[in-house]
């Protein structure tokens, strides 16, 4: 039976609160999305600069993996918790302005690095800076829109990550192609720069512009559910004790689905080059455009579809859309690496990206719906900690282990991606569906209806 949205007794629903104007709310979303896009360009660009970085710094694959993974991910996920604590208690706008400025500076520092150690430290700085963005941004967006209208704006914000990865692939592929014949670039003060150093400096340039764009953004009023007689403000530990079932199932479900997404982000270039003899620039352009077109359109449709279902009284709308999108993506996650030609493989990846897109914008509205206002940033930070560790450890590394120690053939890296996806995506689906009942109960309560 479908749960319906309404009122309980004389208590008003959340839509009756004093929400910002539609224009102001959406302006905030688009500025934050632009920041998220830049964040993903700055973090992802390194993965396509592997060969020139290894050559110029004389480092091994293992050292490069530390630059691309550990240096960023560990500090990004760990620092998210204290930054989220700040976001729940102070100005989210000021935290975001600081974050943009700091990671932009550290991205430029990557372009000035001349050794493994200096690049490693700069990558840590990028991770620390970016850790302050998403928990605060998700909380701000949730306070700009009523619960039944949050999926779409939160989905639009999530598009920033997809745009960032897509642009990083396109830019990185173009830089690699250009670097083959380009002469050294000499800049005042900095002197001669390698192509990969120049790439870092170029992608850092929009940072100051985004800092200026954040200045007119207003800190939204916190839309908190009124406390009942004798009720105290919720603590984070109390929330986890009370809502551990929906939080755990939602986090596990979205994280397992993210394993497949991370596996494709990490290994699609290698799969296309090894199995279909595509050049890196060709892969970067094709895959980048697929992400920009198909993934983003899927995210927009998923948010619109979820909000439309919610407005019609289905309080489990987010879960329904997430499960549907993932189920439709599953066969393409397995078929894409098995395609006989590169064109067919990319067509299957395009379909997969569109259907995964229906789901990719929904983790935030799912978790925001079950969390009290003053805990939303920390709830998102904990989810991002869990999700990033699971997705970006199991995905890339699980594929590599299967390829190296089971298949024992680098040309079969795509088959390893298919195997990992065939295992984790169904498990993610089961976890999301199992969360449906507890999600509805928690979300209705936090909306003031349960």
Task: Kindly report, residue by residue over 137-161, the tens digit of the pLDDT.
Answer: 988 998 898 877 887 888 888 888 8
Instruction: Read off the pLDDT of each residue in 23-50 and give the average, rounded to a whole number.
Output: 88
Task: Kindly report, residue by residue over 363-379, the tens digit of the pLDDT.
Answer: 988 998 898 877 888 88
Taking the C-alpha atoms of residue 333 and residue 419, their distance in angstroms, rounded to an integer, is 9
Instruction: Read off the pLDDT of each residue in 217-227 and give the average, rounded to a whole number.
Output: 77
Q: Is the CB of residue 353 less than 8 Å from the CB of residue 295?
A: yes
pLDDT, mean over the chain = 85
pLDDT of residue 199: 82
- Give the pLDDT band (50/70/90) at residue 179: low
pLDDT at 230 over 60: no
pLDDT at 228 over 80: no
Whole-model pTM: value is 0.77
Task: Kindly report, residue by residue over 64-76, the tens digit of the pLDDT.
Answer: 767 777 778 778 8
Q: What backbone torsions phi and psi does residue 11 show, to the nearest 5 degrees?
A: -75, 130
């Amino acid at each position: 039976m479908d749960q319906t949205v309404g009122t309980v007794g004389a208590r008003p629903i959340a839509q009756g609160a004093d929400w910002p104007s539609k224009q102001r709310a959406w302006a905030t979303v688009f500025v934050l999305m632009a920041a998220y896009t830049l964040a993903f360009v700055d973090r992802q660009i390194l993965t396509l600069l592997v060969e020139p970085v290894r050559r110029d710094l004389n480092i091994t694959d293992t050292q490069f993996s530390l630059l691309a993974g550990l240096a960023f991910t560990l500090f990004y996920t760990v620092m998210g918790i204290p930054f989220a604590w700040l976001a729940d208690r102070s100005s989210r706008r000021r935290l975001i302005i600081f974050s943009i400025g700091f990671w932009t500076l550290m991205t430029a520092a990557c372009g000035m690095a001349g050794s493994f150690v200096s690049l490693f430290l700069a990558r840590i700085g990028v991770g620390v800076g970016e850790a302050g963005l998403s928990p605060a941004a998700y909380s701000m967006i949730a306070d700009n829109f009523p619960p039944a209208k949050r999926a779409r704006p939160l989905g639009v914000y999530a598009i920033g990550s997809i745009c960032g990865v897509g642009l990083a692939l396109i830019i990185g592929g173009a830089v690699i192609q250009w670097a083959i014949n380009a002469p050294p670039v000499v800049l005042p003060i900095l002197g001669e720069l390698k192509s990969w150093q120049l790439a870092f400096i170029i992608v850092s340039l929009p940072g100051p512009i985004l800092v200026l764009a954040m200045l007119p953004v207003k800190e939204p009023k916190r839309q908190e559910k009124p406390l009942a007689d004798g009720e105290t403000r919720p603590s984070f530990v109390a929330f986890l004790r009370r809502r551990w079932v929906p939080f755990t199932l939602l986090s596990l479900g979205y994280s397992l689905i993210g394993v497949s997404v991370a596996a494709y982000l990490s290994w699609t270039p290698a799969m296309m080059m090894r199995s279909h003899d595509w050049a890196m620039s060709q892969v970067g352009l094709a895959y980048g455009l697929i992400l920009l077109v198909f993934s983003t359109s899927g995210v927009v449709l998923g948010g619109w579809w979820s909000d439309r279902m919610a407005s019609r009284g289905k309080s489990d709308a987010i879960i329904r859309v997430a499960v549907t999108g993932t189920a439709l993506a599953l066969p393409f996650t397995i078929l894409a690496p098995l395609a006989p030609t590169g064109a067919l493989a990319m067509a299957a990846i395009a379909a997969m990206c569109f259907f995964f897109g229906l789901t990719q914008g929904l983790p935030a509205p799912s978790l925001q719906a079950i969390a009290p206002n003053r805990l939303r940033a920390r709830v998102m930070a904990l989810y991002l900690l869990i999700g990033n560790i699971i997705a970006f450890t199991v995905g890339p590394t699980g594929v590599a282990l299967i390829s190296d120690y089971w298949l024992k053939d680098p040309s079969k890296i795509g088959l390893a991606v298919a195997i990992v996806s065939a295992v984790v995506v169904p498990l993610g689906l089961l976890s999301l569906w199992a969360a449906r009942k507890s999600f509805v109960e928690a979300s209705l309560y936090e909306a003031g209806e349960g």
